[in-house]
Chains A and B, each alone.
Chain A
């Protein structure tokens, strides 16, 4: 099928309501001291269409029947809560591109494997274990994990370590909300995430030729996890996450290479020591723990100075300069002050 950029997903200035409408809604969140208070995200425009029945993505197939809690929350979605500054440069990718061309090694090594094989994943019912250095842990139904917060739409650039990128409208809640509710102890320094391990549902997990040691593991430093940009997504394009994009719940860390944004999460643990993420374990010289988007530090196989913004076409490869921290420098650079980013890649 022909993939066309759908202009519809771009917002007309008239749809954008003043910032105050958004900020009034849930101005204060109970906080882990010192982190993540006052969610000003300078450099990004905030906007919220007052919860309208109008779905901004009428052409997007709805996929599986969404669970009742998702439907219930749909009317409350804070649309366009974070959007790119420059909608021309960062045009939202068509749904088909974002869902038929991605990496999800649990389903295979090529970029069309996820769309082909992810139908075996059962995203419902789903539970997430929250454990480790927390006071309120446990096995939590997805609904109970997500519903206490309001769903927000965040339109983020997603930059893959292979030097391609797409702009994707996620629906989710700040990871910080979930962490606060879990009430971390003083010992908690890092957050460790784990993907489902079930070869029945994820066919490549029992492939003899896979190099990753399943289950997939990712990690963040606690302050990275508490950063207001860090999102736990349950949907995209106004609907629940398609299986191949990490249903039913995944991480989105827009200033880091895509592999940090772990999919189909079954476990979130607050831990004292730095977790070893799957790719780092596989190839430590190529993949680090931090994996911040950084045009100055090349991956051994790919130059990171520029990226191919997808979808592209044969004669306009759409090569654009990669921005420091994927363009979220104002929001996150302070996290890394004094660190040698060449060493902590």
Chain B
């Protein structure tokens, strides 16, 4: 099929990237729209906070699914959106933090200091966010060149970040683990796919795209 050539076509890549960019904006726009129309319940700030947290985690999981997807399909289009989705995860997480500071703490900075040292779930959330920031800052060409060979191990810290986020989420759960478990299942699956024997099997599968 002729699409095979598309992934080599820079114009296609550009369009594909913009498409992903647009799609990543949709949930955010939707939630903000709901808040503006008063459809976000009696506590719109918390509504945004929770949704943005989920958004950040979704983006992180999507980022981590790109390598296995590339291996599975051989389609390079997945790879070219990895940095973008990683940065989206960072963006959603930053907005999540902003909601917390603005709407939950009401800009009471002294309280933020207290929460950051006293509440384990906030501590791990902050560590995860710091990790995302570091990845974000070091993800440009300049930083990659400066870091050289150390860049890759640094980037592997994304797994640690994922585990921190899952812990953060777990500690927020009151009495119903169903949502958390669904995420945990996906997260565990994605980690498992990094296990070398499995990862190798993935890439050894016949490449449908290439053969057609």
Contacts and interface: CB of A to CB of B under 8 A. Distances in A.
Interface stretch (A121-129, A261-269, A307-315): A307-315
A300 B103 contact: no
B68 interface: no
Interface of B: 35, 37-39, 41-46, 48, 102-104, 106, 108, 111, 114-115, 118-121, 171-179, 181
Nearest to B182: A209
Interface in A2-17: 2-3
23 contacts: A2-B37, A93-B42, A100-B41, A101-B41, A101-B42, A105-B174, A108-B176, A109-B176, A109-B178, A109-B179, A209-B176, A210-B178, A211-B177, A303-B114, A303-B115, A308-B43, A308-B46, A312-B42, A312-B44, A317-B102, A317-B103, A319-B106, A319-B108
Nearest to A105: B175
A317 B106 contact: yes
B163 to A, nearest CB: 20
Given A109-B178, A212-B175, A298-B118, 8 more contacts: A1-B39, A101-B41, A207-B176, A207-B178, A308-B104, A317-B45, A317-B102, A317-B106
Contacts of B179: 109-110
A97 interface: yes
Contacts of B102: 314, 317
Contacts of A189: none
B115 A314 contact: no
A270 interface: no
Contacts of A97: 41-42
A112 interface: yes
Contact of B175 (A100, A211, A308): A211
B175 A282 contact: yes
B179 to A, nearest CB: 7
Given A303-B111, A317-B103, A112 B41 contact: yes
Contact of A210 (B35, B108, B172, B175): B175
B43 A310 contact: yes
Given A164-B43, A207-B178, A317-B103, A3 B38 contact: yes
Interface of A: 1-3, 93-94, 96-97, 100-101, 103, 105, 108-112, 164, 166, 204, 207-212, 282, 298, 300-301, 303, 308, 310-314, 317, 319
A250 to B, nearest CB: 18
A307 B108 CA distance: 13
Q: Is the interface of A mostly helix, strand, loop or mixed?
A: loop
B176 A211 contact: yes
B44 A313 contact: yes
Nearest to B103: A317
A143 B114 CA distance: 50
A314 B38 CA distance: 10
B121 to A, nearest CB: 6
Contacts of B38: 1-3
Closest 10 CB pairs of A and B: A109-B176, A311-B42, A97-B42, A2-B38, A209-B178, A209-B177, A317-B106, A319-B106, A310-B42, A211-B175
Given A2-B37, A209-B181, A317-B104, A109 B45 contact: no
A311 B39 CA distance: 12
Contacts of B45: 312, 314, 317
B176 A210 contact: yes
Nearest to A311: B42
B119 A300 contact: yes
A121 to B, nearest CB: 18
Nearest to B111: A303
Nearest to B99: A314
Contacts of A209: 176-178, 181
A97 B175 CA distance: 22
A96 B40 CA distance: 12
A108 B173 CA distance: 12
A109 B42 contact: no
B125 to A, nearest CB: 12
Nearest to A204: B176
